[in-house]
Structures are given as C-alpha cells and as structure tokens.
Chain A
Amino acid sequence: MSEPNKVQAHWAETQRLTYIMLGIWAFFSFFIHMFAPALNGIKILGFPLGFYMAAQGSLIVFVAQLFWFSGAQDKVDRKYGMAEDD
C-alpha cells in the first residue's frame, strides 16, 4: 500500500472504531435507561435491573470498553505503520 493510501485507510479504520465506541456509549448511556421502569421488574440479588444498570452495569461497560478501545486502536495504528514506534 502506498503511503497516502495507508494514511487514508488508517483514518477510515480509526473512524470506524470510534463510531462503534460511540454506539456502545450511546446505548449504555441513554438507550437502555429509557427502559429502566420495565427493567426494574427484574430482580438480581435484590437489585432492580433498571437501577442496577444505571448504578453499576453501564459503568462496568464503560471501563471495559475503554481498555478494549485502547488495545484495538493500537492494533489499527500498528497495522498501517502509524504507531509511535513505527
């Protein structure tokens, strides 16, 4: 792949990864909590599920997502020779 193509492909894949991340973020920040009243009918260890998702569930997703993202973006950088040590 020529250098300009690599630059373009790297940015396209970076964008794609970012949009996936923002999709997950939007789902666990907003979408799922719109159903909190219904989810509260389900109980796990005493936690109503709607409450649990806002108090812990979404947070756990955010943390896991960011560790995954930092690994995945690094892979993208390396794939196109765009990482810092390339």
Chain B
Amino acid sequence: MTKLAFKTIVAAAALALTAAAPSNAQKADPAGIVRKMHQAFFYQGESFRARVKMTLTDASGSERLRELTMLRVNMPKRGDQRYFMYFHAPGDVRRMAFLVYKYPAKESDRWLFIPALSLVQRIAAKDAQSSFVGSDFSYEDVSGRDVEADEHKLLREEEHGGKPCYVIESVPKGSASYKRELSWIDKAAFLPLKEEYYDVQDQLFKEFTGEEIKEVDGVPTAMKRTMKSVKTGHRTVVEFSEVKYHLGLKAEEFGERALRNPPGSWLK
C-alpha cells in the first residue's frame, strides 16, 4: 500500500469518527437501529393496552370506523408476543375478537371469534403484508416485521419534523409487496416518524407517519399513526387512547376462552 493511500484512509476514518462523535458515539449499525426501533415501537413494557380508533377514508372522502381494544403481552421467549383485539364497532362486528400469537421468524397463529356463528375460526396467516381489517395498515405494520427479513442500510441522518433522525433503507431479502422501504427513525426515542414504501415499479405507494408522541407510564408512545395509500388516495388514521403499560397480564389467558368471553378487566 502506498503511503498516500494510507494517509487518505486515515484521514477519512478520522473524518468519519468526528462525524459520528456527537451522535451518542452510536455505531452506525443499521440493523441495530431497526432493532432498537422495534423495541421502542412494538415491545415497550411487558404488557400494554389501548383503546384504538381506526378511521378509514377513501379517495372520495367517505369514512369507515373501527373501534377496538388491543392488548399485548410479551412472551419470555425473545421476540414472541400475544395480541388480543376485541371489536366494539361497527355494530355488527361487536364481540368479534381476534387473537394472534406472533413469532418473529415464522408465521403467526391467528384465531377469530365469530359471535353470530359462535365459532372460533383459525385463520391462515399466509401473508403478513395483507391488509389489517380492511385498513391501509398491514399485519406487519401493526405488530412488526422480522428485522432479519430485510437488508438494512443507513442512508443518511437528517432532521424530520425538527427531530434528528436516521434514514434507513430496508430491502426485503425474499419476495414482498414492496421493493424497498425508507424509515425516518427518531434518534432520541427510536420511534419511526415516517416510512415510505416503494412498489415493484419503484414508485411510492404507501406512506406512514407517527405523530403526537406522548410519554405514557414513562414510555414515549405515538398516539396517532397514519398510513396513506398514495396511489389510491385511501388512508387510515389510528388513534390510541386509554394507553396503559405494565398491566401484569397473564400470557396463558390469551386463549380460546378469552376470545369467546374476555375477562372484564381487559375491556375496562
């Protein structure tokens, strides 16, 4: 190696170090950033409950409402979670309940209780990218996507909405409904403030924004999330209320019995 080349490399390394220094001495490990984001966004507290209002708006402006109570409990096994969703509205789906056992690296198990048939039906979760209850959110958007399923790259660091952010590009390793995703991750709270999804034609087709970040039980939480389908003009706004962490929920209670008849304390 020539002297000159060596000098250049040293200079470049020094420059990179000084650039990285102010950012908490954080090593630019994009997968690590995404992992931290997942922790902050999907795994806070050992359990969680919120009343969720979903507003689905189509291109012509007409709206549909979904209201549900969502509960989550983290499993001892790293990454596993159980979700329980109980629907309050629209009227004809009241008492419908949805149970999901989530495993990061394999398909989740899902059950749905259909009150009119008094039937608990297992539902195949073939496609985690399919729409969640007709909204613009996919199942993945609600409960997280396996960090290892994508190749992550730190594109740049920039401010978004006045907050310093990492801009990460994630490209799915296998087949997916999108070709790549860009995320703006808040450096302080590690919450995603914005995500852009590009389709197979490499055109923007879905856009996520996380807003109204409030601290609840010491946990920064995005109380409002919007997913916009850019090409169709359809969008879904999710608003959280009555958020609570650390409820001391028991994982074994997330089962068929709860689907048919959820414990009163859950829906309070």
- Do these two chains interact? no
